[in-house]
Structure 1
Amino acid sequence: MDSYFDPWYPEAFAAFSREHWAAIIILISLGLLMYLFRSAIASKPFLQKAAKWSLLSALLLPEVSLHIWYVSMGIWDPATSLPLELCSLTLFLSIAILLTDERRLYPLVYFAGIGGAMQAILTPDLGYPFPHFRFFHFFIVHIAIILTALYMTWVRGYRPRWASIAWTMVFLNVSALLVGLINLAVGSNYMFLMRKPENASLLDLLGPHPVYIFVEELIALGLFTLMYLVFFALPDRVKRRFPNKKEPASLSPGG
């Protein structure tokens, strides 16, 4: 058996190692490229199609491969292998919005997708280092979730509204309730609702269980508000006050 697929790989992931920094730099670089070429991609249908299917491939193929790996290694377990983490949910929402252009999904992909995936990339709950299969799966899908939100924003022209923050918070709480019931049923810890992750994470700074769950709620609300203010509300106010540069109309306002 190839050691790169070994579920009992002898080495552990190290946060902010050279390979971890490389993944962060790749995310930043791809995000900058999408921003710089947003108008060119938006104006050419074949480039939009290429970007869309590249993102779908980066979301779907690693996730399908993960579950094939679970089964082939004999380690599939309902307590650890179900796609019920927040980033798993936003991964499926990202796939859905790319396939359907459904505007009601956009706030969830933008706020919960970027917020959850960014935290995962900065403080990975990952037991396998580079070049293990799980290392590539983890960073590819989380980067793709963030890039999907940026694609829908910068290329497709979707935008959230203030009410989108409330809609996202409702989604998070309903999801947590349903996932919590599953945790109780199968003895799992999806979304870290039952206890903190074993690896160091931001949750270590937020108090004991269940206090950190409520603190997470407040942080999420503050983060989503900041994401709306910095990237939408304040730029719109500046444009209204200094209307010198004419911006192209949004292709499909969302949220």
Structure 2
Amino acid sequence: MSEAFILFSPSHLLALLVLAAASFLLYVFRHFFQTRHLAKSILRYGLALLLAASEAVLDIWNIASGTWSPQYTLPLELCSLTLLLSIVMLLTKSRILYQILFFAGIGGALQALITPNLAYAYPHIRFYQFFIAHILIILASLYMTWVENYRPTWKSIGLTMIFLNIAALLVGITDYFLDANYMFLMHKPSTASILDWLGPHPLYLLTEEGIALLIFAVMQLLFFVLPEKLSRTGNPRGQSAI
């Protein structure tokens, strides 16, 4: 029997370090991929393939271990939805999906990585699959930002909030009929998470809305608004810093 996952254990911290290192390398080598069409295509399709493979591994494991169930293993969690949409975004280079996934994908996956709803510790296959899948979700949107030079706007935050509420409505209806708890709409997860600080059900669902809006606004400021202002300050003649 596998050991239980321990929050902020050495293996958990190492996984977070892998995310930081991968993001750093993607940023550092962004110009390399921008100027080499073949390398850029390999990276884009490679990310899409790895995302698809991570979801396939999860489904195969659930079936092989006898844990597949429509109540627990359908791809209806927020990160499952953003994973599948990230594949479509990478294959089609959809700007609409990017505007949603930059916020919902990165924000949701990062929260999941910091406080994983995970029962299996290293070196269980579910440990690898969980962290690889969520890291790839983040890298997919960072790739579109740093390599393809896509940019969200303030309106993108509103679009993301509309997407999240429509998704929650549809998933909530599914939860009701399946007696499930996808997206934790019916109750909090059994493992430690940020939801523990947000009040009882259903209050935490409303609190999540405000926190999501705040996080998305901070992301827009840190990734785009402040860097652009600093760039203009360092280039008084309006020359690009890139």
Shared fold by TM > 0.5?
A: yes
Task: Output the CA distance in 2 between the equivalents of 1:163 and 1:74.
Answer: 44
- Which consecutive residues of structure 1, in runs of 5 or more, have no partner in the other structure? 1-8, 249-255
After TM superposition, the structure 1 = structure 2 runs for residues 1-255 of structure 1, keeping only pairs within 5 Å, are 9-243=1-235, 245-247=239-241
C-alpha deviation, 1:17, in angstroms: 0.9
Corresponding residue of 1:5:
none
C-alpha deviation, 1:247, in angstroms: 4.0
Task: Output the CA distance in 1 between the equivalents of 2:233 and 2:113.
Answer: 37
Task: Output the CA distance in 2 between the equivalents of 1:229 and 1:10.
Answer: 42
C-alpha deviation, 1:74, in angstroms: 2.0
Task: Output the CA distance in 2 between the equivalents of 1:101 and 1:247.
Answer: 25
Q: Is the 8 A contact 2:113 2:131 kept in 1?
A: yes
Task: Output the CA distance in 2 between the equivalents of 1:84 and 1:228.
Answer: 26
C-alpha deviation, 1:178, in angstroms: 0.3
Deviation readout 1:145-184 (Å, 9 max, x if unpaired): 0001110000000000110000000000000000000000
Aligned length: 240
Corresponding residue of 1:252:
none
C-alpha deviation, 1:73, in angstroms: 2.0
Letter in 2 for 1:215: T
TM-score of the superposition, structure 1-length normalised?
A: 0.91
Structure with more relative contact order (C-alpha pairs < 8 Å, separation 6 or more) = 1
Q: Is the 8 A contact 2:76 2:171 kept in 1?
A: yes
TM-score of the superposition, structure 2-length normalised?
A: 0.96
Task: Output the CA distance in 2 between the equivalents of 1:196 and 1:87.
Answer: 16
Letter in 2 for 1:119: Q
C-alpha deviation, 1:187, in angstroms: 0.5
Letter in 1 for 2:123: P
Deviation readout 1:202-242 (Å, 9 max, x if unpaired): 10000000001110000000000111011112222233344
Task: Output the CA distance in 2 between the equivalents of 1:119 and 1:203.
Answer: 10
Corresponding residue of 1:4:
none
Task: Output the CA distance in 1 between the equivalents of 2:67 and 2:233.
Answer: 59
Q: Is the 8 A contact 2:45 2:91 kept in 1?
A: no
C-alpha deviation, 1:33, in angstroms: 0.3
Letter in 1 for 2:13: W
Letter in 2 for 1:130: Y
Letter in 2 for 1:74: G
Kindly, what percent of the aligned residue pairs are identical? 49
Q: Secondary structure at the match of 1:156?
A: coil
Task: Output the CA distance in 1 between the equivalents of 2:234 and 2:116.
Answer: 42
Q: Secondary structure at the match of 2:187?
A: coil
